[in-house]
Structure 1
């Protein structure tokens, strides 16, 4: 299986600026004025410009206010504090404090387009600390 991450955004230039700064991704390919491929993680990220109010899959119109979905992406980092500072500087919003668990540290973020993200820093044996 090969996973691709597709992110709908209302402003491609602003999204490219945010994701390259916040997560240290780099532009690989452009798809006209409607999309860009970002590399640097273990799955390519595709930013797709879609206007607010347009309909994608299903019947719900796109809304770029902060929204919740049970599916979100985690970005695993070596230094959570540095990654959080970089993401905030790029325009992310922290949604709560950094929390620490047996497996590591986590903080929840929202990007400027309403999408939720988590930054994770594994400690010790990571999830093996709690695996049964």
Structure 2
């Protein structure tokens, strides 16, 4: 079975470390050189990677990194016990809530952008969780 790591590109490593530790209660556990911070506190580690705005996203791409709000088909969802408290904490740390909090069959969910344009969600699952969606 493959392992899973989450990497989040950010333009300012110190600001990103402050945001993710304050907003989600994660801990910075290792610094891998000057450009990577490992965060723990979830089931898998999250790596913040310093990548300057305007840098190319890959050797064969003509696109470049932008840190205004952007869409990506992959984003982290963080499960929390108390959604209202988690929303308040994330906003106080600099997150932007992008829609009303949703009541869904599997629990409650709120969608955000971090200060670097990356999307993420906070979810408080009910007792059925995603099993509520089984047909």
TM range (shorter): over 0.9
Task: Give, in whole Å, the separation in 2 of the partners of 1:32 and 1:81.
Answer: 36
Give the drift of 1:71: 1.1
Question: Does residue 68 of the first structure (1) align with residue 71 of the second (2)?
Answer: yes
Provide the aligned C-alpha RMSD in A.
0.9
TM-score in terms of structure 1 length: 0.96
Task: Give, in whole Å, the separation in 2 of the partners of 1:115 and 1:94.
Answer: 12
Q: Structure 1 stretch 16-25 or stretch 53-62: which is displaced more? A: 53-62
Please point out which of 59, 75, 79 is paired with 2:62: 59
| Number of residue pairs matched by the alignment | 132
Question: Does residue 78 of the first structure (1) align with residue 77 of the second (2)?
Answer: no
Question: Does residue 126 of the first structure (1) align with residue 126 of the second (2)?
Answer: no
Structure 1 unaligned residues grouped into runs of 5+: none
TM-score in terms of structure 2 length: 0.94
Q: After TM superposition, which residue ranges in structure 1, 4 or more long, deviate above 3 angstroms?
A: none
SS state at 2:117 partner: coil
What is residue 12 of structure 2 aligned with on the other side?
11
Give the drift of 1:101: 1.3
